[in-house]
Amino acid sequence: MLEQDLVPIVQLGHPVLRQSAAPYTGQLRDDELPALIELMRRVMHHAPGVGLAAPQIGIPLSIAVLEDAYAPDPETAEVRERTPLEFFTIINPRYEALDGQTAAFYEGCLSFEGYQGVVERHRSVRLDYDDESGTPRQRTFTGWPARIVQHETDHLNGIVYVDKVLTRSLSSNAEYPRWASPDIGEARRGLGF
């Protein structure tokens, strides 16, 4: 797909990122929803990212796409519990923590280009959502996939990861390689958070 066939990703400061997205109740024609999902998938891959919410392309509907096919090094994968997440669409999602465990790692956002920051999130969540055919679904996620689910669902509620970031951890992409260890211990010591 050519780059000119894609839409831009809305950046932090645009009001669509700060509104709760409207619940999807069939506002699109039958042929428009799959076309939107495919466009979102292409934009996400091109960025590249592991998730994209409709508000990030200026559409205030409660729809997001998720997929993590990246292969991190084995140590990072183990520490961050990063396992592959096959492509899927979530519509009108809601998540709930499964226990009191949390994990804190660096994450970034396609709508806040150029920065990474540490966010503490639930380690395991239950996600209730509708799939693209309107069928109610419920799935549980742990580790990195749970982080992606929370990040994208937050977008649909007008929350951007910088609202939850440990501000002293914020790092430009140019400086992030300094702190790209599997865990955040070195960054915590070096940046004082």
* Secondary structure element (H or E) that encloses residue 91, with its range: strand 85-97
Give the residue from 150, 163, 67 showing the smallest Cα distance to 112: 163
d(CA 149, CA 125): 8
Give the residue from 40, 68, 79 showing the smallest Cα distance to 148: 68
Residues noted as catalytic: 152
d(CA 61, CA 23): 6
Long-range contacts of 179-185 (CB under 8 A, 24+ apart): 179/106, 179/116, 180/106, 182/73, 182/75, 182/76, 182/78, 182/79, 182/80, 183/79, 183/105, 184/104, 184/105, 184/106, 184/118
DSSP state, residue 54? G
